[in-house]
Amino acid sequence: MVREIPVYEPFSMDGETYETVLSPLENSKQIQLVFPFQTTFWTRFKIIGTNGPLEDIEAGPGARVPIGVSRIFNVNEFGPSIFVEVFKRNPRTYIDTLKVKTRSVQGYSIHFLTQN
């Protein structure tokens, strides 16, 4: 399932509520994704670009580096949308695919904050 995520509006995923907020980057042609550092269960966020997977970010118990924060990407690494596949508890337990419009976060770091 692919779900479009609005900026600054809460959404639920696997029993947890998240909200996205933006903070500016120095370059308007860059994008960065920041995920929760701590989660109840091990979680992997797989960032997908135009040519396939770009980076895996982990959080929670047993997470490996990088934890929470992605590298800064050039906007050209994405098409009209950024896709993030989410896995929880183990690498084979797929939860959801999040979709964010590239133009709505271009020049920003997008933070996925938990509300629980």
Q: What pLDDT sits at residue 85?
A: 98
Distance CA(84)–CA(49), nearest Å, equals: 9
How many domains is the chain partitioned into structurally? 1
Q: Is the pLDDT of residue 116 over 80?
A: no
* Span 96-106, average pLDDT: 96
Average pLDDT, the chain: 94
Contact 96, 12 (CB under 8 A): no
Q: What pLDDT sits at residue 40?
A: 86
Give the whole-number percent of the chain exceeding pLDDT 90.
82
Q: What pLDDT sits at residue 16?
A: 87
Contact 87, 46 (CB under 8 A): yes
| Band of pLDDT at residue 38, cut at 50, 70 and 90 | confident
* Span 5-23, pLDDT tens digits: 989 999 999 888 999 999 9
Distance CA(31)–CA(76), nearest Å, equals: 10
Total number of residues shown for the chain: 116
Residue ranges making up the domain that contains 110: 2-114
Distance CA(60)–CA(36), nearest Å, equals: 8
Q: Which residues pair with 3 in a beta bridge?
A: 98
* Span 45-63, average pLDDT: 95
